[in-house]
Amino acid sequence: MDLAQPVGELKGIGPKTTEILKKYGIRTVRDFFYNLPRDYENFSAPISIADMRPGKVVIRGKIDRISTRRAKRRNLSITEGVICDGTGSVKVVWFNQSYRAKQFDPAREYYFMGSFELKNGRYSLISPSAALVSDIDPSVGLNPIYVAHGALKSNDFKRLINNSRDRFAQIPDLLPTVEPGKRKDALFNVHFPSSIESVQKSREYLAYEELFELILAAKLNRQENEKLKALPLKFKLDSIQDFLKVLPFALTGAQKRAAWDIFQDLEKDTPMNRLLQGDVGSGKTMVAALSAYQAIIDGAQVALLAPTAILATQHYEGLHKLLTQFGIKVILLTGATKHKVELKKDIADGRINFVIGTHALLTDDTEFKNLGLVIIDEQHRFGVEQRQKLALKSPRGLAPHLLAMTATPIPRSLQLTIFGDLDVSILNELPKGRRPITTHILQGIEVKSRLYPQIQETIKNGQQVYWVCKAIDDDARSETTSVKSRAAKLKTLFPKMNIEFLHGRMKPGEKDEIMARFSRGEIQILVSTTVIEVGVDVPNATLMIIENAESYGLAQLHQLRGRVGRGNKASACYLLTSDDMQPSRRLRELEKSTDGFHLAEVDLKLRGPGEIYGALQHGALDLRIATLSDTKLIHRAQNDVSNFLQAPENMLKYKELMQGITKYQQITTLN
Ligand code: ADP
Ligand code: MG
Task: Find the CATH number of the domain harbouring 523.
Answer: 3.40.50.300
CATH number, domain of 102, equals 2.40.50.140
Q: Which residues surround ligand 2, an ion (CB under 5 A)?
A: 535
Provide the pLDDT for residue 611: 42
Which residues are within 8 A (CB) of 219 and not within 5 positions of it... i.e. 6 or more apart? 420, 421, 641, 642, 645
CB of 252 within 6 A of ligand 1: the answer is yes
Under the banding of pLDDT at 50, 70 and 90, the label for residue 385 is: low
How many angstroms separate the alpha carbon of residue 541 from the centre of ligand 1?
A: 15
Per residue in 550-573, is it b (16+ CB within 10 Å) or e — as a string?
bebbbbbbbbbbbbbbbbebebbb
Distance 285 CA to ligand 1 centre (A): 7
Q: Is 286 in the pocket of ligand 1 (CB under 6 A)?
A: yes
Query: What is the average per-residue pLDDT within 407-434?
Result: 76
Q: Which of 97-101, 262-266, 413-417 has the lowest mean pLDDT?
A: 413-417
Domain region containing 514: 438-593
Q: 663 and 524, same structural domain?
A: no
Last residue of a domain, one of 548, 566, 593: 593
Q: 129 with 236, same domain?
A: no
- Closest ligand to 280 CA? 1
Phi and psi at residue 192, in whole multiples of 5°?
-125, 75
Ligand in nearest proximity to the CA of 321: 1
Sheet holding 401-406, edge to edge: 330-333, 354-358, 301-306, 371-377, 401-406, 273-278, 423-427
Q: Could you tell me if the CB of 251 is within 6 A of ligand 1?
A: yes
Q: What is the mean pLDDT of residues 552-565?
A: 85
Average pLDDT of the residues of the chain: 86
Distance of alpha carbon 271 from the chain centroid: 27
Last residue of a domain, one of 540, 560, 593: 593
Work out which ligand 1 atom sits closest to the CA atom of 433. 25
pLDDT score at 140: 86
More confident residue, 596 or 587: 587
State residue 309's pLDDT score.
81
The reply to whether 504 and 567 lie within a common domain is yes
Going by the DSSP 8-state scheme, the letter that residue 243 receives in this structure is H
Any atom of ligand 1 within 6 Å of the Cβ of 407: yes
- Could you tell me if residue 303 is inside a domain? no
pLDDT category, 545, cuts 50, 70, 90? very high
Cα 69-70-71 angle, rounded to 5 deg? 120
Question: Of 173, 182, 212, 208, nearest to 654 (Cα)?
Answer: 173
> How many folded domains does the chain comprise?
3
Q: What is the pLDDT of residue 389?
A: 64
Q: Same domain for 426 and 464?
A: no
Verify that 110 and 218 share a domain, yes or no.
no
CATH number of the domain that residue 409 is part of: 3.40.50
In the prediction, which pLDDT does 421 show? Answer: 72
In this prediction the pTM is 0.69
629 and 570 in a common domain:
no
Q: How far is the CA of 286 from the centre of ligand 1 (A)?
A: 7
pLDDT tens string 15-28: 999 999 999 889 99
What mean pLDDT comes out for the span 556-575? Answer: 89
List the single range of 132-146, 299-313, 510-524, 577-591 with lowest mean pLDDT: 577-591
Given pLDDT bands bounded at 50, 70 and 90, which one contains residue 531?
Answer: confident
Q: What is the percent of the chain where pLDDT is above 90?
A: 47
- 561 within 8 A of 439, measured Cβ to Cβ: yes
Residue 610 pLDDT:
43
Cβ atoms 603, 629 nearer than 8 A: no
246: in domain: yes
Mean local confidence (pLDDT), 647-669: 75
Same domain, 539 and 494: yes
Q: Are 177 and 212 in contact (CB under 8 A)?
A: yes
The pLDDT-based confidence of 622 (bands split at 50, 70, 90) is very low
Domain edge (last residue) among 593, 620, 654:
593
Angstrom distances, CA of residue 462 to CA of 458, 478, 497, 503, 523: 7, 35, 11, 24, 11
The CA-atom distances, in angstroms, between 375 and each of 88, 218, 400, 563, 653 are: 70, 20, 10, 22, 38
Same domain for 477 and 552? yes
Looking at residues 284-290, what average pLDDT do you find? 95
Average pLDDT over residues 497-501: 95
Q: How confident is the model at residue 258 (pLDDT cuts 50, 70, 90)?
A: very high
Quote the pLDDT of residue 668: 38
- Strand order from edge to edge, sheet including 525-528: 437-442, 571-576, 541-546, 464-468, 525-528, 499-502
Whether residue 315 has its Cβ less than 6 Å from ligand 1: no
Is there a domain that residue 371 lies in?
no
Contacts of 211 (CB under 8 A, 6+ apart): 417, 626, 633, 634, 637
Residues 320 and 352: their CA atoms lie apart, in Å, by 12
For residues 82 and 186, membership in a common domain is answered with no
**Is 182 contained in some domain?**
yes
pLDDT band for position 535 (cuts 50, 70, 90): low
Q: State the number of CA atoms in the 13 A half-sphere of 476 facing the CB.
A: 0
Rounded to 5 degrees, φ, ψ at 316 are: -60, -50
For the Cβ of 280 lying below 6 angstroms from any atom of ligand 1, the answer is yes
Cβ of 378 below 6 Å from ligand 1: no
Q: What percentage of the chain reaches a pLDDT higher than 70? A: 88
What is the average pLDDT across 394-402?
79
Same domain, 104 and 201: no
Indicate which atom in ligand 1 lies nearest the CA of residue 283. 6
Mean pLDDT, rounded, for 361-373: 83
What is the structure's pLDDT at 669? 34
Cα separation, 300 vs 313, in Å, equals 22
Helix (H, G, I), strand (E, B) or coil at 126: strand
Given pLDDT bands bounded at 50, 70 and 90, which one contains residue 615?
Answer: very low
Q: Which residue CA neighbors atom 26 of ligand 1 most closely?
A: 431
Centre of ligand 2 to C-alpha 284, Å, is 6
Mean pLDDT of the 195-217 span: 88
For position 377, what pLDDT does the model report? 85
The residue nearest atom 9 of ligand 1, judged by CA position, is 283
State the Cα–Cα distance between residues 222 and 219, nearest whole angstrom: 5
Q: What span, in angstroms and rounded, lies between the C-alpha atoms of 407 and 600?
A: 11
- The per-residue pLDDT for 533 is 57
Answer yes or no: is 284 within a domain.
Answer: yes
Given a cut of 50, is residue 319 above it in pLDDT?
Answer: yes
Domain annotation covers residue 283: yes
87 and 195 assigned to the same domain: no
Distances (CA, A) of 318 to 162, 242, 323, 332, 565: 62, 18, 9, 12, 18
| 577 in the same domain as 460 | yes
Whether 283 lines ligand 1, by a CB cut-off of 6 Å, is yes
Section 326-333 average pLDDT: 95
pLDDT bucket at 495, cuts 50 / 70 / 90: very high
Residue 348 lies in a domain: no
- Ligand 1 contact via 306 beta carbon (within 6 Å): no
pLDDT at 617 > cutoff 80: no
Phi (first) and psi of residue 60, to 5 degrees: -140, 125
pLDDT of 13: 94
For residue 282 and ligand 1, the question of a CB distance below 6 A is answered with yes
Is the confidence at residue 670, as pLDDT, over 70?
no
Domain-embedded: residue 104: yes
Q: Supply the pLDDT for residue 631.
A: 72
Query: What is the reported pLDDT for 351?
Result: 96
